[in-house]
Amino acid sequence: MTATAPANIDTGAATHPLDLATTEEFRAVREVLADAGLLGDSVRYCFAGLEEPDKAAVLAHTDGDRVDRRFRVLLLDMSGAPSRDVVVSASRGEIDSAVELDPATSGQLPIIDSEFEIMEEIVLASTEWCDALRRRGIDPATVRAVPLSAGAYYPEETGRRMARVLGFRQDHEKDSPWAHPVDGVVAYVDLVAREVSRVVDHTPLPVPDEPGNFDDPEQVGPQRTTLKPIEITQPEGVSFSLEGNRLRWEGWDLRIGFNEREGLTLHQIGIHGRPVVYRASIAEMVVPYADPSPVRFWQNYFDAGEYMFARYANSLELGCDCLGEIRYMDVVVADDDGSPRTITNAICLHEEDFGILWKHSDLFTNASETRRQRRMVISFFTTIGNYDYGFYWYLYLDGTIACESKLTGIPFTSAYPSEGHPYATQVAPGLGLPYHQHLFSARLDMAVDGQRNAVEECEAVALPMGEDNPWGNAFTESRTRLTHEAEAQRLADPGRGRTWQVINPESTNRHGRPVAYALHSEGSPTLLADDRSVVAGRAAFATKHLWVTAYDADQRYPAGDYVNQHAGGAGLPTWTAADRPLDEDGRGADVVLWHTFGLTHVPRPEDWPIMPVDYAGFRLMPVGFFDRNPTLDVPPSSNGHCHS
């Protein structure tokens, strides 16, 4: 399928295949789609993002090479006509592919704002819904309809575009509806027919009355006056440089990308001219809830695959979100109608003091030295419904890479019955915060000293007392090479200090050992839902802490490309069914790690009415990647506080 190329497309003149998408490029893409007749009145964008070229092409790119900028666009026809997955070249003004999707087999495209906006209208038109509210003594007009992804629970919903709606009473314009969940009733909404297909009215639980506004001085009381200012200054400027989207800092060198599905993507991360990671991102996440009640059993949200949550990235503010000498990057995303929208200050870049790097006062030599650790921080924050997620990537002076999710906002609420509740915490009279998990999948396309890597599971092994261990103090390290995909589906084991080392068998350090980076898992719980549950089939990635796959450019999302209402089994379970080799002749292969990390959230009263940030993450640490401590050249701090 080819459209006529618009003359002289100005696409913002990308010079590298991984440059950030521009306003001009999204305009060009939209024009091509419109010219090809793919944008009818009822057609909306569900996703638009750079279709990254194949790894080989990116690695072969040199300055001045011509760049073909291709974009992937998911097009939803709200009238119910087939959706499309389209790849467009903004540079050539051509459509490279346009695949029609069958929702009965492939699942649905993500839920979009255009659908959120019609939700209240749809439920208000339902007599059944309004009657259920009136039976509870509630005026339906005061109830905010929260549109939630439907999952895949009923055969009769197969192929239909569905959402489920829970209601929250709002007592006045500034009142936080989350404080007043209308529990015991849920509406199932057919988004194409624009009607409620079913109302499940289980129990008329009382609606909690106490307000939950965290921004109302009358409710939160006077602000404390005891905090003195903290100011962070870098009088000589920052130590990093940013050239387009290429960041360099203290030997680190990488490119920063962004798309509305994964948010931040980091590319070609290297240190001192040596590659470490080809591409890193949070490729999926799921928030499964624990309550089996008929009104809530279906609650699990894939914020990336079902909602494209990074399209709601915040514009960050200096002094509030970020402190110090900050550089911001804007990003461009596409709105539902395909128009480019710039999110200013979406990505925050800064360096941060991180306490002691190393220190010793020697007994014999009187040497006494202290060095301070520093990290480069690359972050963004996004708001999806009641929750807010920050994603922070850290690069440290000593070669460590870390990722940290920050979870805040308002936990989802329910009624809390007077007789107690095994699946929620009471946080106000009659108000509960249901138990749930936040499980993230980090896709780590590793490149430790090159593309060919192998993965070894390493752990401490205590040895039994015996002839070789007469005093019983012995322990050693075991290493097991993960040679095929089926055996490379692993759980953490904090009791044994289990890590996974990504080694390069053909690159050795001065000790003759293969260079490595180790993935350190926090070892927090994986998916707690039963293996036979719908969510376990759809979020199979979350049943293991680690999956290793052979690189395939098309394998990007661990729960599949079209997650919304997908019946399950897509992504990692399908790909790894082939049990591809991960280690050819002991020389490794081009491997991708998928790491599940997250929080199992049994909410605390302190999480209401707004939750102090909680954290989940992982680290990638060099192991023999360097021959010795790579930070001996860090000078002592010249700060006056160190030399009083």
Catalytic residue numbers read: 303, 387
DSSP structure class, residue 160: S
We find the least distance from the C-beta atom of residue 287 to Ni ion, in angstroms, to be: 7
We find the least distance from the C-beta atom of residue 438 to Ni ion, in angstroms, to be: 5
Q: Cα–Cα distances in Å, from 364 out to 181, 360, 367, 370?
A: 67, 12, 8, 17
8 A C-beta contact, residue 264 and residue 255 = no
List the Cα angle 134/213/260 in 5-degree steps: 90
H, E, C per residue of 165-187: EEEEECCCCCCCHHHCEEEEEEE
We find the least distance from the C-beta atom of residue 409 to Ni ion, in angstroms, to be: 9
Closer of 25 and 291 to Ni ion (Cβ): 291
We find the least distance from the C-beta atom of residue 411 to Ni ion, in angstroms, to be: 5
Among 275, 272, 239, 269, residue whose Cα is nearest residue 254: 269
We find the least distance from the C-beta atom of residue 414 to Ni ion, in angstroms, to be: 13
We find the least distance from the C-beta atom of residue 443 to Ni ion, in angstroms, to be: 22
Rounded CA separation 244/264 (Å): 15
Q: Extract the tokens encoding 480.
A: 């097991």
8 A C-beta contact, residue 526 and residue 491 = yes
We find the least distance from the C-beta atom of residue 381 to Ni ion, in angstroms, to be: 16
Burial 388-401 (b: 16+ CB within 10 A, else e): bbbbbbbbbbbbbb
Q: What is the number of residues in the chain?
A: 644
Q: Is 364 left (phi over 0), alpha (psi -120 to 50) or beta?
A: alpha
Beta strands at 327-334 and 340-361: parallel, antiparallel or unpaired:
antiparallel
H helices of 308-417, in order, are none
H helices of 36-138, in order, are 55-60, 103-106, 113-116, 119-124, 127-135
8 A C-beta contact, residue 331 and residue 343 = yes
We find the least distance from the C-beta atom of residue 611 to Ni ion, in angstroms, to be: 7
Closer of 256 and 611 to Ni ion (Cβ): 611
Please provide the DSSP assignment of 507-568 as one string. EE-TTSPEEEEEEEE-------S-TTSHHHHHTGGGG-SEEEEE--TT---TT-S--BT--S
Closer of 276 and 290 to Ni ion (Cβ): 290
Among 180, 182, 157, 183, residue whose Cα is nearest residue 170: 180
Among 616, 622, 618, residue whose Cα is nearest residue 601: 616
Q: SS3 of 60, please?
A: helix
We find the least distance from the C-beta atom of residue 412 to Ni ion, in angstroms, to be: 8
Q: Does 605 sit behind a cis peptide bond, omega within 30 degrees of 0 on the bond before it?
A: no
Closer of 354 and 423 to Ni ion (Cβ): 423
List the Cα angle 55/57/61 in 5-degree steps: 120
8 A C-beta contact, residue 349 and residue 327 = yes
Closer of 86 and 611 to Ni ion (Cβ): 611
List the Cα angle 600/601/602 in 5-degree steps: 120
Closer of 387 and 547 to Ni ion (Cβ): 387
Residue whose CB is nearest to Ni ion in the complex, by number: 601
Residues that bind Ni ion in the complex, under the rule CB under 5 A: 601
Under 8 Å CB-to-CB from 64, ≥6 apart: which residues? 15
Closer of 256 and 287 to Ni ion (Cβ): 287
Please give the helix or strand (H or E) that residue 69 lies within, else none: none
We find the least distance from the C-beta atom of residue 286 to Ni ion, in angstroms, to be: 12
Amino acid at 109: L
We find the least distance from the C-beta atom of residue 128 to Ni ion, in angstroms, to be: 31
Burial-class residue 514 by CB neighbours within 10 Å (0-12, 13-18, 19+). Answer: buried
Closer of 44 and 601 to Ni ion (Cβ): 601
Closer of 279 and 601 to Ni ion (Cβ): 601
We find the least distance from the C-beta atom of residue 404 to Ni ion, in angstroms, to be: 15
Closer of 249 and 389 to Ni ion (Cβ): 389
Please give the helix or strand (H or E) that residue 398 lies within, else none: none
Closer of 544 and 601 to Ni ion (Cβ): 601
Beta strands at 454-462 and 94-101: parallel, antiparallel or unpaired:
unpaired
Among 114, 117, 123, residue whose Cα is nearest residue 141: 123
Closer of 261 and 601 to Ni ion (Cβ): 601
